[in-house]
Amino acid sequence: MRYLLSTGCIGVAALLAVSSANANDQLQKMSQNPKDWVMPAGNYANTRYSELKQITAANVGKLQVAWTFSTGVLRGHEGAPLVIGDVMYVHGPFPNPVYALDLNHDGKILWKYEPRQDPNVIPVMCCDTVNRGLAYSDGKIFLNQADTTLVALDAKTGKVVWQVKNGDPKKGETGTSAPLVVKDKVLVGISGGEFGVQCRMTAYDVKDGKLAWKAYSEGPDSELLVDPQKTTSLGKPIGKDSSLKTWQGDQWKIGGGCTWGWTSYDPQLDLVYYGSGNPSTWNPKQRPGDNKWSMTIFARNPDTGMAKWVYQMTPHDEWDFDGVNEMILADVNVGGKTHKALVHFDRNGFGYTLDRETGELLVAQKYDPKVNWATKVDMDKNSKTYGRPQVVAQYSTEHNGEDHNTKGVCPAALGSKDEQPAAYSPETKLFYVPTNHVCMDYEPFRVSYTAGQPYVGATLSMYPPPGESNMGNFIAWDASTGKIVWSNPEQFSVWSGALATAGGLVFYGTLEGYLKAVDAKTGKELYKFKTPSGIIGNVMTYEHGGKQYVAILSGVGGWAGIGLAAGLTDPHAGLGAVGGYAALKDYTSLGGQLTVFALPGS
């Protein structure tokens, strides 16, 4: 590793001197300053909303490129930079470089950190070598490396303060998620569901990296960090061995349920929220039962890791509908009552609104009309199937206990939305959702487990819904009623994260490489600019020197762009994505660039 040292970070010197005792109080205050972007989602609520309004619907058409920066790495660029005072922190995919850029001097490099990682980690990264971003607290920048090393860097110098190994790539465990700092702990998830990892959320001490707690997604109660009588699901205690009873034998030990998505936090309720992914293997016949608690929303105490409530969205998953997508915290009026709500757009195609204090299910509706694998989610509290999706037998991938080549399942395994995060505007009270409009054929087959080897057990083909050509939509969603307010079709899946602003705008990126701005109320397109490569990063905004900027990482890749990123041509490769997105090569190519926009003039 090498460092480029500079004293140019003086703009954040006061913040970096904050002691760890009150670091989180300071971090919470910092997140309320719209001039900065101090967390992966901008704030704990994961709203990706900014109060900045210098750029408006009236003037956004005048946006120009202010400056650019190359990360020096190809493959998929997910996540977004952080901005703290006068310094921007930019990350990249494997080998996970981190740059500190001086905003006072046109993005001059203050320091660079580049870990030396074993390239053998690359083959065990399921869907490209992506990284979803950095975290900040207590004068440190936190990076979750591909090889699962969690690193705390001195924000002024880039020097390593501490590091800890969070997993073992030889078992298929990798790191792709963005950490989140809550109080005196940094929370980090794990990837590896396609390699039979027993997945978990882990908390480390911000000051020295000491392990605080580890909560698995499946297994004994002691490993789940649940109380059989106090932890609830849909208002009822989950009971003893709630997970073990839903797995055959010891299958839970290689059961997946990974935690590579986003984490949110409610300081008033003192609860963190995140989702778990698919059960392993993708062949449902090999793991009979509900496979709890994969595909589940967890609400946990950040100090102890104990779960207050859980809700499983897709019991006995047969389609790889990971539940890791972000939990957006907002006040939502449902049926005349305002709830402290959690809104979640699941891979399975249903948009969920839950009471985030109790876990009560309030709304569950399809946010893509083509979703066909289930008719609805049972909302009858007196029903034995309350809260469960009502599966259409035709689209089950297991018929009469046998593997079945199922055709025409909507959505495809990458879901109606994958990790690309939605945004929420408290002004319009709408949620802005980048979506995939894709269906699939799914053929499971028997697979044996070997540590560190793929443990998938299914072959997929992906394509647009019958009779349609667009593979994505960007929608506005009313979480109080579960209805689409407006929808903009896109040629390919919208694989970038959204940003909503007080200027009445919503920004997002496209796989061809366009940054777009639309009217938050109507969805009317007001601006677009084609960046050098396809966009799978998340739009962010900040203010510096009295001027508002909008920034986006471009660099095609991720699951949808894995064919381009890894040079794959077999249409079934990339877990079916290579064939589905074959036309993407006609519109963009590899890259790794940060593009920063602003209005002209001083």
Spatial neighbors of 382 by CB under 8 A, at least 6 apart, are none
Q: Is 261 exposed, middle or buried (0-12, 13-18, 19+ CB in 10 A)?
A: buried
Sign of the CA dihedral running 514, 517, 518, 521: positive
Peptide bond between residue 293 and the one before it cis (omega within 30 degrees of 0): yes
Pull the structure tokens for residue 485: 């307010």
Of 329, 132, 308, which is closest to residue 226 (Cα–Cα)? 308
- Helix (H) / strand (E) element for 578: namely helix 577-580
DSSP state of 533: S
Pull the structure tokens for residue 560: 């949808």
Q: Which residue has the tokens 């920063």?
A: 596
Per the CB < 8 A criterion, the answer to whether 69 and 593 are in contact is yes
Q: How many CB atoms lie within 10 A of CB 30?
A: 19
Catalytic residue numbers read: 320
Distance between CA atoms of residues 561 and 558, nearest Å: 5
The residues that bridge with 423 in the sheet, in sequence order, are: 432
Distance between CA atoms of residues 137 and 444, nearest Å: 44
Q: Are strands 149-154 and 140-144 parallel, antiparallel or unpaired?
A: antiparallel
Sign of the CA dihedral running 374, 379, 381, 387: positive
Q: How many CB atoms lie within 10 A of CB 68?
A: 14
Of 187, 113, 186, 189, which is closest to residue 153 (Cα–Cα)? 113
Q: Which residue has the tokens 């006040």?
A: 331
Distance between CA atoms of residues 270 and 223, nearest Å: 21
Single-letter residue type at 400: N
Per the CB < 8 A criterion, the answer to whether 176 and 260 are in contact is yes
Peptide bond between residue 281 and the one before it cis (omega within 30 degrees of 0): yes
